[in-house]
Structure 1
Amino acid sequence: MKNKILQIISVLFLSYTVQAQTDIIEDFETTTPNYNWVGDDCNVDTHFANPFITSQNNSTFVLKYNDDGGDYANVRFDYGENFDLSGSHAFNMMIYVPSSSLTGNSPNQISLKLQNANLPEPWSTQTEIIKPITLDQWQTVSFNFNQDNYINLDPNSPAPQLRTDFNRVLIQINGEANTDEVTAYIDNFTYTCTTTTTPTTPIFDELVWQDEFNYSGAVDSEKWFHQTLLPNGNSWFNGEIQHYTDRLENAEVSNGTLKIRAKSEVFTDQGVTKTHTSARLNSKFAFTYERVKIRAKLPTGIGTWPALWLLGQNINEDGAYWDNQGFDTTAWPACGEIDIMEHWGNNQDYVSSAIHTPSSFGGTVNYGGRMLPNASNAFHDYEMIWTPDYIEFRVDGVSHYTYEPEVKNSSTWPFDANQYLLLNVAILPSISPSFTESSLEIDYVRIYQNSTLNQAEVNRLNEVSIYPNPAKHLVNLNRAKQVSNYIIYNQLGQVVSKAALVKTQINVSDLAKGAYSIKLIDAQQNTRTMKLVIQ
């Protein structure tokens, strides 16, 4: 099936495509940073306990920059390759300068300089952007050499966006050629580069599944499943400390949005008592090669961990919706995991996307992210574009990571089979004792496919799912247009029902309680058989 899809998609593409990646992420949370930060005429500590933990930046560790009067004090690192400034790009960082650390009358500012570290005098061809800063508060400062005013030390140097020789980043606080003192704290340094290239992206323009949450009460049970079963009988994965429940208190639709509410409360379920509750929803829709767009506002609080993500429909995970339907053939991470958005409350202004596969042993190796200062105060569009060649992640239409392995096999690319959507807020042991509750609020979930694919040439029965399952009276089929006929067999292999599919529902009210198999047949006589339970 994959080869046929590739042949069709190869002639369907946009006039251009945008590729972007967060190439540098430095949060200073580990004792050894990702890059070798060197201080000139100043003291630098790359793993210093954050002395100003606030709602703007609740990171545990930061970089401390202490200029005790050096004429040309700065901190710098070498990137290892040359920056491409030709496309859209941004250097971002957070900074806090306490007024009590200042002497003299130097301007309150931060400078980001780019240099060629391979030159005997790297500063001789440098370019620089200077931004003002506010004392006694955390703030995010952004530098863009295509949009901001820059200063070339050598006025004969080309514009920065025309150069390809920069490979060193240098940061300077409150100017140079002075002996004034200043202490600054720097955190969450990132560099994101976006370039325009020749496209191969199919146009995902047909809305095939959605929830606009334009109702009130519990989530739509025809679309969502509450996953509540503790996977090992006692706790959830990753050290999570909450119970996931199916209560309205933890997942409620009101005023046009879904609220997945994490709460501090003593709650007992399955014979286990925990101190926090939340909700974890599975979609009753599974799909391959689609565009997913979710508009959401994130919770707050150190120890909160909201996620919008996907798992393979074939995952063997007791209690998950598709496991209950008999698809449980593959362990994690061989089933594949796509994290559209993850957010950790101890890094409030940062969101991340990631891919988990056997090639990385399930670890967070393939990932990218971006700073998003108002992630919990405003709605943002989180988007994933999944093609046969790559998976791209965007926030508000701007790409920040693309996964495109050179070699695609079961180890690097378990993404040629159906995945399903999960929405949840986990609670980690680092949750504050003062935490009461906070919500992941979702405005809508929309899934799009490429409407121009020639359905007659491709077997897409693997994209069809049935719900509810178990069923009592009616079985619904998503992607019903892929199905021409169906046959239902009992456990003895006898045909108990067969017909042409003329609606999106099958009436099973005449069937006795028990387990059955349903075979779906398309116009090309391709088939797919699934387990069906009547209750």
Structure 2
Amino acid sequence: MRYFYLLFIVITFQLQAQVVQDDFEGSGTISSWFGDNCGMNLNLVNPVQQGINLSDTVLEYHDTGGQYANVQFDVNTNFDLSANNSFSLKIFIPSNGLTGNQTNQVSLKLQNNTLTDAWTTQSEIIKPVTLNTWQEVTFDFENDMFINLDPTSVIPLQRTDFNRVVIQVNGEDNTDHVLAYIDDVLNFNTVSDNPVYDNLVWSDEFDGVGVIDDTKWFHQTQLIAGDSWANGEQQHYTNRIDNSFMDNGSLKIVAKGEVYSDQGQTKNYTSARLNSKFSFQYGRVEVRAKLPSIAGTWPAIWLLGKNIEEDGTYWDNEGFGTTFWPWCGEIDIMEPNIPKTEILATWHWNNGSGYQYNSSSIPTVNSDTSQNWHIYELEWSPDSMKIYMDNILINQMPTINPFNEEFFILLNVAMGGSLGGDIVNNFDEDMMEIDYVRVYQQSQLSIKDLNANLVSFYPNPVETWLYVEFNSDTSDSGKFQVVDLSGRIISEQTMLVTNNKMSYNTAALDSGMYLMRIVTTDGASSTFKFIKK
């Protein structure tokens, strides 16, 4: 399971990653603070010692009308967001230090200081803030919504060029005044608490020979736009064995150059488009595939909302079609760009605010994706959606409406049009080959709360040793994490259970409240709070 693989990676990188933090008490590692169009004092006596911040000194941020006011710092070694994906800070904004009517917010921007205009490729997260109180704000570049100023940039976790942090209060391009106090700036790794999808609920291994399994797949052949498919594509989809069949342990979807007439229309190419007769909500989809390589072919591995109103789809024929595209939602796990130099991961939707899309890509080599097997994967939970190629994250976004409904899987190879590009002269045939399609969801053991297997944890509050007892049905191995309330991993260890009991020495913890998250090798998990005296 990826979960335990990621735990190992986290541990490895945390040992090597640079420490980036500043508490403005003289023990920080940041020495390059700079006020850009903004007054700054790195050694201000804390004027509001209350709530979560009783420290003696803080950074004073004073924007007296600078159009692009901010404070910033550089690091010597570029950030590795795969190791430490998040930044946090404490902030206090007194209401009497503001002018104008700007939105109360704080943004954190990552930039490349080697560029003449470091902001041109920045990635930014904006968070709302409340006035007249200390609060801790976290900017998670793995799970939070981010803004890439250059829309062609890949997601932040794939970037290795960031070496500058910019903190900006109440936005830019205005001359309003802002007084704020900032403390405890930290770069760290946020705990991910996504479900473990370990139960295979539906699959096709394509081990047969000849026609595909019609209990699992439906051939979608009806033209959806009267005389054509979307995007100006030039093929007919058929249910012929010439265009889709099983052989040698894989599915072949074959696009052919041939004159073919159907539904009163004659076209110069044929191919196949398959709908799964299985729909689901949340889980992990894995597809192992080789892609066609010839110019003009447009392969896709994707999902549509089960409720799509589109004549000729399996689920519309079954009476589920109530919603037109893009209101139904579309998830594109794999599509190449026109020159076949990138794999795209994209969402399309409309939840009442107009057509929206979110697309990112990973560089590829056409000969590699066509000659070698690669795994294309979607992890879809009630909180987030992530698309991977060979375990490399390509794109992600929060799970918003309409992506909280049931979807079904589509496999197809289109020809030409605005997405496939120009078709090579004298095209004969090319194919997408699928080794398997697998859908995993949470097993009953994963779904149920491990607390059912917890007998007790004690003492609470704890001075030194914290004990956790299980019943005899619980796995005797796994991992546990100790996390503070801001999401920082304090400790991460292999869980050793003896006589249905495990223990953890809390001596190194400061006084306060913590979370312990336990994940057993059989996928069950539980999180509980404890207090260290």
In the superposition, the TM-score normalised over structure 1's length comes to 0.49
In the superposition, the TM-score normalised over structure 2's length comes to 0.50
**Structure having greater relative contact order (Cα 8 Å, sep ≥ 6):** 1
